[in-house]
Amino acid sequence: MENFAFYSPTYFVFGKEEENKTGKYVRRFGGSKVLIHYGGGSIVRSGLLDRVKASLKEEGIEYVELGGVKPNPRSGLVYEGIDLCRKEQVDFVLAVGGGSTIDSAKAIAAGVVYEGDFWDYYQGKDITKALPIGTILTISAAGSEGSPDSVITNENGMYKRGASGEALRPAFSILNPALTQTLSTFQIACGITDIMAHLFERYFTTTQEVEVTDRMIEGLLLAMIHEAPRVIQNHDNYQAQANIMWAGMMAHNDSCGVGRTQDWASHDIEHELSALYDCAHGAGLAVVFPAWMTYNMKHDMNRFAQLAVRVWGCQMDFAHPENTAKAGIAALKQFFKSIGMPSNFTELGAKEEDIEKMAHTACYGDVRKGTFGGFVKLNENDVANIYRLML
Amino acid sequence: MENFAFYSPTYFVFGKEEENKTGKYVRRFGGSKVLIHYGGGSIVRSGLLDRVKASLKEEGIEYVELGGVKPNPRSGLVYEGIDLCRKEQVDFVLAVGGGSTIDSAKAIAAGVVYEGDFWDYYQGKDITKALPIGTILTISAAGSEGSPDSVITNENGMYKRGASGEALRPAFSILNPALTQTLSTFQIACGITDIMAHLFERYFTTTQEVEVTDRMIEGLLLAMIHEAPRVIQNHDNYQAQANIMWAGMMAHNDSCGVGRTQDWASHDIEHELSALYDCAHGAGLAVVFPAWMTYNMKHDMNRFAQLAVRVWGCQMDFAHPENTAKAGIAALKQFFKSIGMPSNFTELGAKEEDIEKMAHTACYGDVRKGTFGGFVKLNENDVANIYRLML
């Protein structure tokens, strides 16, 4: 295990109707004037936004609003949010929504107290401060409610980049599984895929002898595989939604990723797809991951076989571990299909003729250096080959 | 899953030589004059205490010292520590040691800023404030480095009681697995047992459909079972020590115990043994747990069978789940034996004639109400029967 620091100081409040206490938590973590940041009309129609406002009023907390966050959140709205917060002297940013809304809120919270262009942070500058952030999560997926990460799409060129820093960990996050019951089957399945991707991205490592985090990741994957069909079949299954929601947080607050190299190439490969076609991030990952695994399994066949045996219940083929590794990837493909995820470029709406361009942008766009990946370093040719496995 | 709040704001620093940066972390978390609290001579002899002092000096942080913490830490030393901190105007308590030292430090940190008798907290009073606490962990066991808990033995009657409160979570904890390599085999085995007990105590629940935390607990147990023989065989196996150390923290910071009833009866039953015979807490637990399981498995045979199958690799006997449950308990007994733990009263140094007295104290001592336990409520008769299974 490598040396590490782990700091997850977010106050998690989990359960039914906890969003009605939002004002209390904003107060506890120092907010007196709040930006309520959200996406589309669903939280208005469901009455959630009104309940949150009522809770703030009850505590005598002022607020301003900024809706309109889109999936794959854009830089334009971040600039708008930063201007609004400065003008209104906001001291707390409250995200009501999913990963996109939370990521946008994090960018605003950091940008408000930074004299330069917030995009500097998405080009690698250290984030040393941000306004405190609170979240009310409405979809189990991104894990942004417990993570120090944020991903934003720069509208000047339509490319996604991530930023990370302790200051972006939310002060509090309210997780009410009942809020996820009104999502569509497609949205739920995309969320499940994203959570599992966060686990795979930690699982594929070059660090040896990390049994404790291997086992935690496998445990979370097993829980996801158990709960996914239950929640797809019946969105009102509160217990299944609850298990998935906690797994989504644990998958990405890094308690099971510490002390080991990780591999985020799949997320980067997917980001090109969702930036270009505006497809759902989770749907993109469902297509990317089996291809990434197939291309890279030769680098550590035993690790892929271990996943297949421990998580997918495959029998170990001791004479031919590659057969076991392949059986695990086939099981993953079948699983994604069973929850309604796409499995190739056509189903995703992606085009073969864009492969070279995407591979180039993934490797050389913006501040990229030509290769990326922690488990295996991929170059432009590798990335193009992985895209071709998705045809 | 039941509603819950989860807050683990400790800054964990993990890896080799991190204790040499202690001063930096004390500074970061607001300390300017420190009580260094520790146990016996081993941290003096190993040079650890000198390195910690050097690191404090380097940051210009003043300190006073209080050594002498014993296993099953005593109230007398806590009073002494409180007096010393008040006299010296200490604003930070630094524990250098294992769970006993950390628990004693927590009691001091809470007691210093409380006008009443600190023992009130161990009789159920809410803990609302404490001095900030830092820890440098020297044994993987109690999990106190990440938990809100503290257990102290009251010398006026020799009984152990626990206190818990968010203010007792350490501000930072330094986890260097190399510091545990000088422990005796017996100490290491006791620590392993304590960690596994913390997992069992969360596993046995009456809450239904908690797959995500079930799977995390099982994953941590599997990692412990993998690493324990490796570390017993070779104390210098840094990687094995590292895996156990992170598992010990995760087992008890409650990230895998949230939203479910837990059962701490086994710890309480053991506390009577270690209070009366001053045996090692882990050694006591190794004797208590198989007995507690055997006595209580009838209340949820499937849960005991699940543990046997998923963690011990037993074959499920679908016609007779009780056989599978029993096979799991037998595997646990064999495991404890294999790492050198005692398996009965004789090996522990306990006496049959004390059973009635211990059962009575466990149920009625101090503030107790006659029954205890979350998975199964035990009365005095049950507790005596469980002790008898240990003969």
Would you place residue A40 in the very low, low, confident or very high pLDDT band (cuts 50, 70, 90)?
confident
Are B11 and A3 an interchain contact pair (Cβ–Cβ within 8 Å)?
A: no
Instruction: Let me know whether A167 and A192 are in one domain.
Output: no
Among B134, B156, B179, the domain boundary falls at: B179
Same domain, B88 and B234: no
B258–A246 CB contact, under 8 Å: yes
- Which residues of chain B does A11 touch, with a Cβ-Cβ cutoff of 8 Å? 5-7, 9
CB contact under 8 A, B211 and A218: no
Same domain, B339 and B198: yes
Q: Which of A18, A209, A215 sits opposite B219 (nearest CB)?
A: A215
pLDDT along chain B (391 residues), means of 10: 97 97 98 96 93 98 97 94 98 97 98 98 96 98 97 86 95 98 96 98 98 98 98 97 98 97 94 89 97 98 98 97 98 98 97 97 84 96 98 97
Q: Per the CB < 8 Å rule, is A14 touching B8?
A: no
The per-residue pLDDT for B72 is 85
Q: Are B107 and B228 part of one and the same domain?
A: no
Q: What is the CATH number of the domain that holds A144?
A: 3.40.50.1970
Residue of A nearest to B247 (CA): A212
Q: State whether A65 and A123 are in the same domain.
A: yes
**C-alpha separations of B111 from B22, B78, B182, B304 in Å:** 24, 8, 32, 41
pTM value > 0.90: yes
Q: Give the pLDDT confidence score for residue B230 in this predicted structure.
A: 98
CA distance B53 to chain A (A): 22
- Please list every residue in chain A whose beta carbon sits closer than 8 Å to the beta carbon of residue B1: 14-15, 177, 239, 242-243, 246
Count how many pairs of residues, chain A against chain B, have C-beta atoms within 8 Å.
Answer: 137
Q: For residue B157, what pLDDT is reported?
A: 80
Is residue A72 in a domain?
yes
Measured between CB atoms, which of A3, A14, A217 is closest to B6? Answer: A14
CB contact under 8 Å between B259 and A9, yes or no, is no
Q: A195: which residues sit within 8 A by CB, 6+ positions away?
A: A140, A141, A143, A224, A244, A247, A248, A251, A252
Contacts of B5 in chain A (CB under 8 A): 11-14
**Residue A369: pLDDT over 90:** no
Strands (E), A130-239: 133-137, 149-154, 159-164, 172-175
B268, B366 contact by CB (below 8 A): no
Residue A160: φ, ψ to 5°: -95, 140
A219 in reach of chain B (CB within 8 A): yes
B236 with B125, same domain? Answer: no
Q: Give me the pLDDT at residue B368, please.
A: 76
pLDDT of residue B226: 98
Q: Is B6 part of a structural domain of the chain?
A: no
Examine residue A5 and state whether it is found in any structural domain, yes or no.
Answer: no
B377 & B250 share domain = yes
Does B79 reside within a domain?
yes
Q: Are B290 and B325 found together in one domain? A: yes
Residues A161 and A271 in one domain: no
Supply the mean pLDDT for chain A: 96
Residue-wise pLDDT for A290-314, tens only, equals 999 999 999 999 999 999 999 999 9
Which tokens is B49 given?
């205490």
Q: For A274-289, how does the pLDDT look when each residue is reduced to its tens digit (9 = 90+)?
A: 889 989 999 999 999 9
* Interface check A225 vs B, CB under 8 A: no
Tell me, what's the pLDDT at B41?
81
Count of CA atoms in the C-beta half-sphere (13 A) of A151: 23
Contact A14 B1 (CB under 8 A): yes
Q: Does A18 lie at the interface with B, CB-CB under 8 angstroms?
A: yes
How confident is the model over A54-65, as a mean pLDDT?
98
Q: Do A227 and B220 touch (CB under 8 A)?
A: no
In a domain, B27, yes or no: yes
- Within 8 A of B219 by CB-CB distance, chain A residues are 215-220
Taking only residues 244 to 283 of chain A, the set having a beta carbon closer than 8 angstroms to any beta carbon of chain B reads 244, 246-247, 250, 255, 258-259
Contact A223 B211 (CB under 8 A): yes
In this complex, which of B7, B220, B243 lies closest to A1 when CB atoms are compared? B243
What pLDDT is attached to residue B365? Answer: 81
pLDDT of residue A105: 98
Residue B261 lies in a domain: yes
Say whether both A165 and A194 belong to one domain.
Answer: no
B137: contact with A, CB 8 A cutoff: no
Please report the residues numbered 336 through 375 in chain A whose beta carbons come closer than 8 angstroms to any beta carbon of chain B: none
Number of domains in chain B: 2
From A119, A144, A179, give the residue that closes a domain.
Answer: A179
- pLDDT tens digits, one per residue of A203-243: 999 999 999 999 999 999 999 999 999 999 999 999 999 99
From chain A, the residues in CB contact with B217 under 8 A are 219
Domain CATH code at residue A332: 1.20.1090.10
Residues of B in contact with A210 (CB under 8 A): 243
Residues A223 and A365 in one domain: yes
* Residue A3 is assigned to a structural domain of this protein: no
For residue A7, which residues of chain B lie inside 8 Å, CB to CB? 9-12
Residue A366 has pLDDT above 80, yes or no: no
CB-nearest partner of A258 from B14, B216, B222: B14
Query: What mean pLDDT do residues A15-22 have?
Result: 97
Contact B104, B82 (CB under 8 A): no
Of B161, B179, B197, which marks where a domain is finished?
B179
Quote the domain boundaries for residue B57: 11-179
pLDDT digit string, tens, across residues A318-354: 999 999 999 999 999 999 999 999 999 999 999 999 9
Residue at B1 is within a domain? no
Say yes or no: B126 and B167 in one domain.
yes
Contact A13 B5 (CB under 8 A): yes
